[in-house]
Structure 1
Amino acid sequence: MTSHKAPMPRGVSRALDGWLRRRAAIAKQPLRGAILLGAVNGLLLVPEAWLLARSITAVVFQHRGLAAVAPSLAIILGIALLRALLSHGATIAAMAASTRVKTDIRHALHAKIAALGPGFLGTQRSGDLASLLVEGVDALDNYYAAYLPQMAVATFLPVALLAFIFPVDWVSGIILLLGAPLIPIFMILIGRGTERLNQTQWRRLALMSAHFFDVVEGLSTLKLFGASRDAAGLIGRMSEDYRLSTMRVLRVAFLSSLVLEFFTTLGVAVIAVFVGFRLYYGEIQFLAGLFVLLLAPEFFRPLRAMGTQYHARMEAIGASERIVALLETPEPETPAGVAALPAGSGILRFEQVSFSYAPGEPVLEAIQFAIARGERVALVGPSGSGKSTVARLLLGLARPDSGRITQGDIDLASIAPDAWFRESSWMPQRPTLFAGTLAENIRLGAPDASMPEIIRAAEAAEAHLFISCLPHGYETVIGERGQGLSGGEIRRVALARALLKPARLLVLDEAEASLDAETASLIRAAIVRLPRDISVLLIAHRLESAEAADRILVLRQGRIVEEGTPATLRAGTGDYAAMSALYHEGAA
């Protein structure tokens, strides 16, 4: 995490602003529409102000009645209505542009996260990524919906109004021309402080979001160890820091608005004083003076609006720092191998495979084994011996540091990841269900599966009975992470999902965890009944699960210390025999 107080270098800020502007290319048409409507709306001020000045002059100095100026008043009303419609249309176009850009950025972020893969996700905090995808992208809204259109209008409209003011009163034109730069200058000076505060604000939000998400995920563990009050106190302190940071940003924003209003009021007041004295000395006609006074506030309005929206630019730059950092994260090298595996391609082998998550801390050391087509192989061993790491390597979620994994004569490193993912199915140690129906969750790996196929997979996973008892059956909607189901029910739905996907390799990581003995035995029977063209790697803590395998591999400290059939290993004197004796002694 970047330091909260480290200001962003000016070059980085300019680069991020350039990146934000380039992303606007996808919404070029709606942005142009918003700018055009805003510019036309501003130009309509000229005939509106001229007609109003003429009407007032006619009534006050020429003593005409309201009936005489009624046509002009009707036109003014029509122009006002037209301006309101144009303003509404400009807002709609700007919001459409913002929505299009945000959608594109979210798609890019999702694609990037998918390309970086599970290895990257394992190093990130879920709350940080969730905050980036939601609040971080939403923070760009005002940049595209307000700042960019307003900046274009503020560049064009004051110059266009001066073109009408100078022929009427060149003195007022000179005053406006000299006063106009003061607003952007002070806007930039104040904006420098706002930029640093916004960067700090977004970094604090990222830290708080990540920590809060982690606390929610581990709430049961915190309560188990009596640490929930300490965690709540820490969240409270982080929330208070975030509140104070927010108030500092608002204080600077209000100061910016005050300065802009002051210079706008000062500019209009100077015009009013000059026009008043010149009217007194007869150097200007009332019609011309009133016309200039009516246009003077409108001359400053787009500049003031741009200054008001300048904090949207600072906020967007602060949020985009993390977005760009994620999008520019180097992706793991994708092997440019064959597009797909040939049908029925041989034995799956680990050949002297070593792997470590950190330098000098090996998890697996020179392990070697093979899985024949249709064979059931169980991995057993104490926690931390490397069983789940073997599964990750086998699924292509990580690459060996040395050695290789082959399918037949083909190195998995030379196979396109998507091709291998299509050939493998996985039930992780902590399966995740998504918000949606149970049928959608089971169908995740096989989107085209029919309902009868879903039911058969659920029956094989011993999930059909409890799903059938639900009010809406397979159309029952569950919450994120399987909210509404028990732990055992979640695992059975995840197992049905793994069984439904057509694959040549099925990896089950503790498929029977959180299940009662009767259901676990039914699932073991379902695994045994799987078609013999599917290879199964079963990571087991329960020895009953390992007993259902054709062959058992015993891992200890990252090495395979035993290999053989259940009966052979039970009859021996090694680790498996010792584990079996302890297990049966505990069961007794």
Structure 2
Amino acid sequence: MTEADNHDAAPPRRTLDRRLIAAGQGARRFLALAIGLGFAAGLAVIGQALLLAHVVTALIFRHTAPAALALPLASLAGLLLLRAALSFASELAAHHAAAAVKLSLRRALLDHLFALGPAYAAGERSADLAATMLDGVEALEPYLARYLPQMALVALVPLAILAAVFPVDWISGLVLLVTGPIIPVFMVFVGYRAEAINRRQWRELLTMSARFLDAVQGITTLRLFGRARDEIALIGRIADEYRRATMAGLRVAFLTSAVLEFFASLSIALVAVLFGARLLHGHIGFFPAFFVLLLVPEFFLPLRGLATHYHARMTALAAAGRIFDVLDAKPATSWGSAIPPAGPLSLRCAGLTIAHEPGQKVLHGIDCAFPAGSMTAIVGRSGAGKSTLAAALLGFVAPQSGAVMVNGDTALASLDREAWWARLAYVPQTPRVFAGTIAENLHLGRPEADDAALRDALRRARLLDEIDRLPAGIETRIGDGGAGLSGGQVQRLALARAFLRDAPLLILDEATAHLDLETEAEITAAIAELARGRTAILIAHRLATVRRADRILVLEGGRLAESGTHDELLARGGAYATLLGAAEAPCAT
């Protein structure tokens, strides 16, 4: 099944309400309060109609003086105010329930995305996930705050009105009993079409968001290759598809409202015509006729409200389907609750086999060790499996067979995830720098670090002098992705974070990328200094950076081709010597 198919799949209707309500702490209580207040407002309508019919009958037919009706008039005014207060309180309680669900869902989505890890995020479009977390969760509010309470009131208020009407006039009660269910039945038929349209609309919104983010992030590439206008045209076509889907949904919504208004008006007119004929022939008095006629529009009011908010249900179903797709996704790795061993850490891969897709192995039965307190380099051609091996050591991917062992006999999968990550520092090939100050980005490594510690980390990463030349020093603001810094400065800022973390395990994936030769030599020396007394794992394409390693692992096609020191491997004349020769060949020319 493709991603589009997953987005098109209908959400679980029967469990949607329960899952959404259960998502928010206190949401069930607030929803029950909203429904109770709404029902009380419906009962107030019956009392209001009864008093109004009594007052009008007394004034017109009994010629009662207005002063004698002071108490009924005051009661009527009190009921009007009470109904307004109850309706307002019901809306307030419903919105509290919606806010609780939205807050809990966003927290659950974010926590689950962290639990799913980089392997899941790499297979999804970031704008899609962002739109799901923001727009998707926001689309649930009308459903939670209006549709769900209205759905309950549809079952309660009309029944209460029927209970008041039947003793007064069974003919009108029968008309209401027959015509009332027409609206829900019609909504069911329309709902299937509307649901398909809203799923399509939501899919188009996610596609447009993802494409627009891609265009913004790749604006330099698009301009340099002269493809900006083509990309604008493509986004325009996607936006037009979204417009068409939106308009189709609105057409169905407006048509539904018009048809339901017609049925409701027809029913009210039928009751009014019957009353007119019976009043002319003296078969019913004014008081019961006027009382029932006042209640008939109120009988259809909850049904009209349900029809008005039915479109919100369709939108919520489409959004909730994607939300639950993410929440139901299984993490690539499983973790335990054991605390990692204290002190130095050693790692060992025992028959480690990893496949990103069934039948497509990236690592084949890797057996290797990373002794405590030593620096181990992992080298190989692009696609050899170096970064996948690092991801396995970090716990980002789960092996199909074999295991990563910590300090000899503790399986990595048995450790607590947060506790394990707290024991290591990681510098990826493309480090992530967030919009904010340099100091804020450094504090990711150690939130409690003071300015002296930040400056020392920058000094060890050979970046302090350059940061001091900036207008605000470490308080200089940088843009998303490190905008305002060079590629080498971003890399060294990530290294400074690792220095600041002071962890017993270091994993560096191309930590000297984007650096000139002079700076690379300085950083290599700094890494050697940092690695002293720690377990360091260095992944490198540029082999000049691995000469100081205590041990070098050479991967070829996902298999461990050879291992040893730089001199040993060079003397063998095997895969490492071939790689080194290929790396130095351009320099020789």
Normalised by the size of structure 1, how large is the TM-score?
A: 0.88
Change (3 A) 1:437 1:94: farther
Could you tell me which residue of structure 1 aligns to residue 91 of structure 2?
A: 91
What is the deviation of 1:108? 2.5
Match of 2:388 in 1: 389
The structure-2 alpha-carbon separation of the partners of 1:411 and 1:222, relative to structure 1 and needing over 3 Å to count, comes to farther
| Cross-structure match for 1:310 | 310
Q: Do the aligned partners of residues 472 and 159 (structure 1) sit closer, same or farther apart at CA in structure 2, a change above 3 Å counting?
A: farther
Corresponding letter in the other structure for 2:584: A
1:299–1:494 Cα change, 3 Å: same
Q: Partners of 2:445 and 2:460 in 1: how far apart?
A: 16
Read off the aligned partner of 1:103 and give its amino acid letter: L
In 2, Cα distance between the equivalents of 1:239 and 1:287?
Answer: 58
User: 2:588: which partner in 1?
Assistant: 585
- SS at structure 2 position matched to 1:530: helix
The aligned counterpart of 2:239 is: 239
> In the alignment, what sits opposite 1:378?
377
Q: Distance in 2 between matches of 1:41 and 1:535?
A: 69
Q: Taking structure 1 as reference, are residues 351 and 569 closer, same or farther at Cα in structure 2, changes over 3 Å only?
A: same
Task: Go from structure 1 to structure 2 and tell me whether the alpha carbon gap of 1:455 and 1:193 turns closer, same or farther (over 3 Å shift).
Answer: same
How far 1:251 moved relative to its partner? 0.9
Shift in alpha-carbon separation, 1:403–1:257, aligned structure 2, 3 A: closer
Conserved? CA contact 2:355–2:362, under 8 Å? yes
Look up the match of 2:116: 116
User: For residue 395 of structure 1, what is the amino acid of its counterpart?
Assistant: L
Aligned AA for 2:534?
Answer: I
Q: Does the C-alpha gap of structure 1 residues 33 and 437 become closer, same or farther in structure 2, counting only changes over 3 Å? A: farther
Opposite residue 121 of structure 1, the aligned amino acid is A
For residue 398 of structure 1, what is the amino acid of its counterpart? V
CA distance in 2: counterparts of 1:360 and 1:94, whole angstroms: 51
Quote the Cα distance in structure 2 between the aligned partners of 1:66 and 1:474. 79
- Match of 1:506, SS? strand
- Mapping for residues 123-522 of structure 1, pairs under 5 Å: 123-332=123-332, 334=334, 336=336, 338-345=338-345, 347-351=346-350, 353-359=352-358, 361-365=360-364, 367-402=366-401, 404-410=403-409, 412-416=411-415, 418=417, 419-470=419-470, 473-522=473-522
Amino acid of the structure 1 residue aligned with 2:316: A
**Deviation at 1:181?**
1.5
- Structure 2 CA distance, aligned partners of 1:5 and 1:559? 35
User: What SS does the corresponding residue of 1:511 show, helix, strand or coil?
Assistant: coil
Is the 1:52–1:76 contact (alpha carbons within 8 Å) kept by the matching residues of 2? yes
- Helix, strand or coil for the counterpart of 2:376? strand
Q: Report if the CA contact (8 A) 1:5-1:200 is conserved.
A: no
Which letter maps to 1:584?
A: C
Q: Which moved more, 1:33-42 or 1:527-536?
A: 527-536
* Unaligned residue ranges in structure 1 (runs of 5+): none
Deviation at 1:60, TM superposition (A): 3.7
Find the aligned partners of 1:171 and 1:553 in 2 and give their Cα distance.
Answer: 90
Tell me how far apart the structure 1 counterparts of residues 425 and 294 of structure 2 sit (CA, whole Å).
72
Report the AA paired with residue 575 of structure 1.
T
1:220 CA drift (Å): 3.7
Residue identity opposite 1:515 in structure 2: L
CA drift at 1:424: 1.9
Report the AA paired with residue 195 of structure 2.
Answer: E
**CA 1:147–1:547 in structure 2 vs 1: closer, same or farther (change >3 Å)?**
same
- Using the alignment, how far apart are the partners of 1:512 and 1:332 within structure 2? 29
Cα displacement (A) at 1:75: 4.2
Secondary structure of 2:330's aligned partner: coil
Please tell me whether the aligned partners of residues 434 and 480 of structure 1 are also in contact (alpha carbons under 8 angstroms): yes
Judge which range, 242-251 or 76-85, deviates more.
Answer: 76-85
Give the 3 Å change call, closer, same or farther, for CA 550–413 of structure 1 in structure 2. Answer: closer
State the secondary structure of the residue aligned to 1:536: strand
Alpha-carbon distance in 1 for matches of 2:375, 2:6? 56
For residue 244 of structure 1, report the CA deviation from its aligned partner: 0.9
SS at match of 1:426: strand
| Equivalent residue letter for 1:357 | H
Give yes or no for contact 1:445–1:501 (8 Å, CA) kept in 2.
yes
Write out aligned runs for 1:567-582 (5 A): 574-579=577-582, 581-582=584-585
Partner amino acid, structure 2, of 1:275: F
Counterpart Cα distance in 1 of 2:313 and 2:200? 15
Q: Determine the C-alpha separation between the residues in 1 that align with 2:87 and 2:216.
A: 44
The CA distance in 1 between the partners of 2:25 and 2:396, in whole Å, is 36
Question: Cα gap change, 1:223/1:383 in structure 2, threshold over 3 Å: closer, same or farther?
Answer: farther
Gaps of 5+ in 2: none
Q: Offset of 1:391 from its aligned partner?
A: 1.7
Amino acid at match of 2:112: K
Partner SS state of residue 44, structure 1: helix
Distance of 2:507 and 2:568 partners within structure 1: 24
Amino acid aligned to 2:343: A
338 and 473 in structure 1: CA distance in 2 versus 1, 3 angstrom threshold: same
CA distance in 2, matches of 1:145, 1:328: 25
Contact residue 379 and residue 552 of structure 1 kept, 8 A: yes
Equivalent residue of 1:343, what SS?
coil
Distance in 2, matches of 1:68 and 1:435, equals: 73
How far is the alpha carbon of 1:333 from its aligned partner? 5.6
The answer to whether the 8 A contact 2:374-2:531 is kept is no
Change (3 A) 1:246 1:410: same
Between 171-180 and 63-72, report the one with greater CA deviation: 63-72
CA-CA distance at 1:517 after TM superposition: 4.4
Q: How many residues align?
A: 584
- In structure 1, distance between residues paired with 2:529 and 2:453: 16
Residues 380, 387 of structure 1: 8 Å contact kept: yes
Amino acid at match of 2:312: A
Could you tell which deviates more after superposition, 428-437 or 90-99? 428-437
SS of match in other structure, 1:537 = strand
> Post-superposition shift, 1:125?
2.4
Q: What amino acid sits opposite 1:343 in the alignment?
A: G
Q: 1:237 to 1:577 in 2, by over 3 A?
A: closer
| Cα deviation digits, residues 368-421 of structure 1 (max 9, x gap) | 544333323333443323322232222222244555544442254454152432
Q: Which moved more, 1:366-375 or 1:419-428?
A: 366-375
Give, in whole Å, the separation in 1 of the partners of 2:220 and 2:568.
Answer: 41
Letter in 2 for 1:397: F
1:14 aligns with 2:17: no
- Separation in 2 of the partners of 1:436 and 1:320? 32
Q: Is the 8 A contact 2:439 2:454 kept in 1?
A: yes
In structure 2, relative to structure 1, the CA distance for the partners of 1:352 and 1:195 (3 Å cut) is closer
Cα RMSD (Å): 3.3
How far 1:20 moved relative to its partner? 4.1
Structure 1 68/484 Cα, relative in aligned 2: closer, same or farther at 3 Å?
Answer: farther
Q: Shift of residue 572 of structure 1?
A: 7.7
2:167 is paired with a residue whose SS is: helix
CA contact (8 A) 2:377 2:539 kept: yes
Paired residues of 2:436 and 2:479 also in contact (CA < 8 A): yes
Q: What is the distance in 2 between the residues matched to 1:169 and 1:359?
A: 71
